[in-house]
Amino acid sequence: MMSDKMAQAASKTCEICVSASGSHYCLECEQYFCDNCKGFHKRQRVTKHHQFQSSSDVIPEGKSKCKDHNEDVSFVCNTCNVAVCSSCVTGSHSGHAFSKLLDSISQLKETNTTDLRSKVHEATQNMKQIEEGLKAFDVKVEGIVKAITEEGTKIKTMVDKCISEKIASVKDQSRKERDKLTKLLEDTQMDLEAGRDLDKKIHELNKTRNDGKLLQSLQKLTDYIAKLTVKPIPEFPNIQYTAKSATDNDVKQLFGNYIISEMRTQQTMNRERELPSPKRKEERSD
């Protein structure tokens, strides 16, 4: 049950004109004012320096009433953890431990304020550490990404070098065989030209008179033809390439691995103490 003063504060009616809403509270006069009455109050020489605050910020005065005895509640029964009046102290709560209501309220306010400030301070410090930890983790992640990129670039360079060397080897070895074929082609071309020259000689001799001189010429021609050799067709060189079936996993094996330790809360760490040998880290290669 609220007192008359508390009920008045709750209604917030102007105590001067008793008609408008009392939205302002004069700290010196301890009265509620409406806008118009406040303006008039501030214009008076005696009261122009009075301080006002919003009526919603005013803590109403008064005490709760005991529902059993209709008396002001002044004590706290620590045994039952309930507010009581003086009649309750000597009555139904006789023999219990008591403390003054205002003392209990003050102590609770102080305790709550201290505890809350401590938790806010702790949360603030934790937030700073989390932010720093997040930044440090991001830096490490960037470092890992950079390391993987550099390793990949190195592997690509090695692959490019291997490709260049293998292509150079193919060209060098094939050039040797090609030079052999080119030499054989040139020799065959020379034999062909020699054969054509002898063929022309035959046609020329066929147009001459059949005598001893022709016989000698034909005998010489026979010797030339016998000496003319046509090189046989060789077994031509061949080249083929057998590709290896490399898989994605084969490529992944060329890279290192990374390990990310999971974030653990206090609750998780407490469980880990109860359950031995937990799996806390995961190693990844992809």
Domains of the chain: 1-62 (4.10.640.40), 247-286 (no CATH)
- Given this model, what pLDDT does residue 263 score? 83
- Given this model, what pLDDT does residue 182 score? 95
Cα 217 from Cα 223, distance rounded (Å) = 10
Among 116-120, 147-151, 252-256, where is mean pLDDT lowest? 252-256
Mean pLDDT of the chain: 87
pLDDT (average), residues 257-280: 75
pLDDT (average), residues 45-62: 83
pLDDT exceeds 60 at position 127? yes
Cβ atoms within 10 A of the Cβ of 151, count?
Answer: 13
pLDDT (average), residues 162-182: 95
pLDDT top residue among 176 and 64 = 176
Closest by CA to 65, choosing from 40, 84, 81, 41, is: 84
- Given this model, what pLDDT does residue 276 score? 64
- Given this model, what pLDDT does residue 4 score? 44
Among 71-85, 161-175, 183-197, where is mean pLDDT lowest? 71-85
- Provide, rounded to the nearest whole percent, the portion of the chain with pLDDT above 90: 56
For 60-83, the pLDDT digits (tens) are 655 678 888 888 888 889 899 898
pLDDT exceeds 80 at position 272? no
Give the residue ranges of DSSP H helices in the chain.
4-11, 35-43, 86-90, 101-205, 212-227, 248-252, 266-274
> Which are the contacts of 27, defined by CB distance < 8 A and separation ≥ 6?
50, 51, 52, 53
Among 25-39, 123-137, 220-234, 257-271, where is mean pLDDT lowest? 257-271
For 106-119, the pLDDT digits (tens) are 888 999 999 999 99
- Whole-model pTM over 0.75: no
